[in-house]
Amino acid sequence: MGALAFFPWVTVTAPAAVGRYRLVPHRVGASLQAEPRVVDGLLSAWTEPGGGPVESATLVHLAGQALTADLSPRDEAGLHQLAAAVALAALARRSFFDGPYLNAEHLRFELRRFTGTDPRNLQVVARRRDGRRWVAHGTGGFRTARPPHAPRPPPLDLDEPLAAAVAAAPGTSLGAPLLEAIAAFLAASGDGDGISPAGELFFLRTALERIAEAPGPEDLAPRLLELLGPFVAGARAPRRLATVRRLELAAEPGRPPSASIAEAWIRDLTRACRSSGPPAYWAPAAHLLVGAHLFPLAVMVRLARAGLRPLAAPDRTALLAFPYLAALRDPFARRRSLAARDPHLYGRALQVAGRRRAQLQLAEVLERTRGGGG
């Protein structure tokens, strides 16, 4: 019996190492990897929306083992953890409104167990609730098309250090909450019609609860702010905070209003997930966009705390951008100036955050200089 692990819809730009695993690009019909006929036969079941076969994929294997070697239960569990790490690392580097875009469907992971060596007459295992069963696979026996809402992305330039840090987390106390959080985040990141915006909001809130280790929805704001506080405290308070506070006083009488726009956004996310009660201030789509920016950064903060990966300077700037993005009632709006190089308010908020962090860094340098001179 053999097994093949792969990402059918994305192809890495070059071989990558993530812990004890290797990711290699594979071009159907022109690969130098071992057993290309078997690999191509298995990949033939994955097609483009028009029915044509995929031209390339990313194969995964354990270092020191054959590409299609049989897997132990431990190996299989490790591969699924690797898939979560790769997905998180890829989604953490995607762009909004410009540049390459990815969703969770692009990063679908497959693990196929099979018997036989002739791609025209393979059998694959069906992992059922009542036990495993073998199913005849012959070439052309079944097809899985790439979802139409996930157009073929450009080659994936994987952030190997970030993926490796996430993959190493299961061996630490961070492991369980991190894997649960990523699973929920991926469920909120598919972009398809198979789940409603309300369902995606629920999974986003769940992901943030797990990464912040909040016991429940009402604990999310203080726990998440404790995690992010050192990185977002330097943001300027927007005028919109007063508006949101008035809504909070009407929606939650007797509860103190939010002290910052970050706290207001988190509390509003909890309101948005309720099926009844006062309406939320931000629309579901706005929450999902800002949450897609925020969650990978929260993961990076947890990884840094665990000593698995230091926070890079761009990550710190992106963290500071969270309050500025949250301050946008409509982050999809465009600037009125037709001459603006970046017309989206979302991009404008990122620019403001970058300038603000530069100001804070300069103030820190001047403070240290004055302290040393005294």
Same domain, 176 and 125: no
Same domain, 347 and 206: yes
**Average pLDDT of span 304-320:** 95
CB 303 within 8 A of CB 166: yes
Domain boundary among 96, 128, 145: 145
pLDDT level of residue 281 (50, 70, 90 thresholds): very high
Same domain, 313 and 228: yes
269-279 residue pLDDT tens? 999 998 788 88
pLDDT level of residue 34 (50, 70, 90 thresholds): low
Same domain, 139 and 185: no
**Average pLDDT of span 67-89:** 92
Q: How far is CA 39 from CA 30, 32, 112, in A?
A: 11, 11, 10
166-197 residue pLDDT tens? 999 988 889 889 999 999 999 999 888 888 99
**CA dihedral over 72, 77, 83, 85, signed as positive or negative:** negative
Say yes or no to pLDDT of 128 above 90: no
pLDDT for 35 equals 73
Domain contains 166 = no
Give the distance, in angstroms, between the CA of residue 48 and the centroid of all CA atoms in the same chain: 23
Number of domains in the chain: 2
**301 versus 29: which is more confidently predicted?**
301
Domain contains 160 = no
Domain contains 102 = yes
pLDDT level of residue 138 (50, 70, 90 thresholds): low
Whole-number percent of the chain with pLDDT over 90: 57
pLDDT for 121 equals 61
Dist CA 75 CA 73 (whole Å): 5
**Most confident range, picked from 27-31, 46-50, 320-324:** 320-324
Domain contains 70 = yes
Same domain, 239 and 367: yes
40-60 residue pLDDT tens? 888 888 898 888 889 999 999
**370 versus 346: which is more confidently predicted?**
346
Domain contains 156 = no
Same domain, 133 and 250: no
The model's pTM is 0.91
Which residue segment(s) compose the domain that 212 sits in? 172-373
Domain contains 138 = yes
Concatenated DSSP letters for 39-94?
HHHHHTTEE-TTSPBPSEEEEEEETTS-TT----HHHHHHHHHHHHHHHHHHHHT-
Domain contains 141 = yes
332-353 residue pLDDT tens? 988 776 566 668 889 999 999 9
Report DSSP state, residue 327.
T
**Average pLDDT of span 100-120:** 82
Same domain, 204 and 113: no
Say yes or no to pLDDT of 123 above 80: no
pLDDT level of residue 64 (50, 70, 90 thresholds): confident
Dist CA 232 CA 301 (whole Å): 12
Quote the mean pLDDT of the chain: 89
Domain boundary among 128, 145, 162: 145
Say yes or no to pLDDT of 119 above 90: no
Same domain, 130 and 182: no
Q: How far is CA 287 from CA 90, 124, 131, 262, 300, in A?
A: 20, 41, 41, 12, 20
